[in-house]
Structure 1
Amino acid sequence: MTESKEAVRGEMDPAWHLMPEDQADRVFGQDMCDIDPTFLGFTDIYLALSHIIPTHWTVVDLGCAYAPQAHIFKNHKAYIGVDASDCERFSAPNTTHYRMTIAEFIEHHAGALNLDQTFAICSYVPPWYGADNLRLARENFKNVFTYYPAGTLQEFVKWRQPITGERE
């Protein structure tokens, strides 16, 4: 990163200050990376959730993509990122990544979790691989947050403008 984190903090994603520079260089340096220091991927939701999920719980992030949120949950018992893409990801010391679909993870690994002390997040995950990922999350986890915006892109951008400064 050539710019100082402190110099540009006001323009950065709210979780940018948590990202280790060596990991940021690795993740942002890969081909076709579609996040950057100004937008790490709806981290405002993850930051809010990090305050209500007990730190002795495991966090399962279904559809984690590049997983900058791993650093938001670095003080939790464990952070499990699940995503079928083969992209470079951020990782904290408590992180385990699974490269598979959400349905595959639920089928092969969810049963090994203590679901009473596991919180699943499925945020901004479309119905990839022909699966209703939000439904899968709701049906298989006791403690879960699911969200996917509805409406047109213009409505979504208009709603996000006060938060991000995006323009139509």
Structure 2
Amino acid sequence: MSESLSQLLEPIADWFRSLGVPEPIVHWGHPVMMGIVVGVMGSFVVLTGWQGRLMIATDDAAAAEKRTEHAKIAPLMFLFIALGYTGGVLSLVMQNQPILQSPHFWTGTLVIGMLGVNGAIAAFGFSQGKGFRSIHAYLGSVAMAVLLIHAVLGLKLGLSI
């Protein structure tokens, strides 16, 4: 299946290769960009989400402001992570590396799934009761922890290629 996926993506990889992108950018561009997205946007999303959750008991207005900030940035973070996921897979194809054999690929896939479920909970579950807000908070936090593991696995992969 890995070979079929690589063959399916090969025309896109060929097009990117034809642009003459320097090898260090093909090799390290994904981790640098994703490090920025996860480090900056991810930290902000986690921080504002938990601030909005924990401030409810002390300051409703400040909590609402933090939840609003969280809601503005979280979908953009998901979009950039999804685009980065695509770029990471394409980078592997461009470097003639197997896709499905990498634990880095599987942790990335897991995170995309977790964040997708979390987005669905935010979109549809909050109106269903307070429990969904707790699930959202903890699932998002676990997703960010998996992203840290994902980064370590990615560094290991990048150094091995």
- Structure 1-normalised TM-score? 0.25
- Pick the structure with greater CA Rg: 2
User: With CA pairs under 8 Å and 6+ residues apart, which has the higher RCO, 1 or 2?
Assistant: 2
